[in-house]
Structure 1
Amino acid sequence: MSRSNKVVVPDCKAALNQMKYEIAAELGLFASHGVSTGADTEFADELGGVSGGTRIQWREVTSRDVGSIGGSITQRLVAQAEKVLNGYS
């Protein structure tokens, strides 16, 4: 099965990963380093140390929470695009 998600701007991957972990932290979700599976865990140690959250593996995050993270990413990207289109940087 092939993925339909094509990376249009590869340089944005790190920024999107950072945004994903920031939003997960805001929701109280934290990924922990386990066995390296190639998953996006580069910010996991930083976020795991934030108080008030629970350290969990990404595979333990519910579909609802993953959807909340994705929805929040979309909202932030749209807001940033609107600012740029309206002349605010």
Structure 2
Amino acid sequence: MSRSNRKVVPECAQALNQMKYELAAELGLMTGGSAGGADTEFASELGGTASAGGAHVNWSQIATRDAGYIGGNITRRLVQQAEQILKGL
């Protein structure tokens, strides 16, 4: 089975990365600095440490449960935002 993280709207990549860092910060997974918008999409596949605005997250060391929490909450926030937009129509 092939996996693809291809963005439907590539212009949203920075906003999605920012959400990822905000949630990592809420979990206490960041060390130093503050959340930002560095491109970290492939950091875990490369086993590296990604940074955003001086903050670092070693994505290869994050527990599966925490990664699932981050991904699930990104989805929840995106659905909430879409509902708010549709409510205003």
Q: How does 1:1-89 map to 2 (within 5 A)?
A: 2-30=2-30, 39=43, 41-43=50-52, 45=54, 47-48=55-56, 57-87=58-88
The amino acid across from 1:22 in the alignment is E
Question: Unmatched 5+ residue regions in structure 2?
Answer: 33-41, 45-49
**8 Å Cα contact 2:43-2:60 kept in structure 1:** no
Aligned-residue RMSD, C-alpha: 2.6
CA spacing shift, 1:16–1:70, aligned 2, 3 Å:
same
- Pick closer, same or farther for the CA change 1:44–1:31 going to 2, 3 Å: farther
Deviation at 1:26, TM superposition (A): 0.6
Q: CA deviation at 1:44?
A: 5.8
Could you tell me which residue of structure 1 aligns to residue 39 of structure 2? none
Give the drift of 1:63. 0.2
Distance 1:31 1:59 in 2: 14
Name which one, 1 or 2, has greater alpha-carbon Rg. 1
Identity of aligned residues (%): 55
| Closer/same/farther in 2, CA of residues 59 and 66 from structure 1, 3 Å limit | same
Once the two structures are superposed, what CA deviation does each residue of 1:7-29 show, in whole Å capped at 9, x if it has no partner? 21000011100110011001111
Paired residues, number: 75
Local SS of the residue matching 1:29 = coil
CA distance in 2, matches of 1:44, 1:58: 16
Q: Counterpart in 2 of 1:35?
A: none
CA distance 1:30–1:22, shift in 2 (3 Å): same
Kindly indicate whether structure 1 or structure 2 has the higher relative contact order, using CA contacts under 8 Å at least 6 residues apart: 1
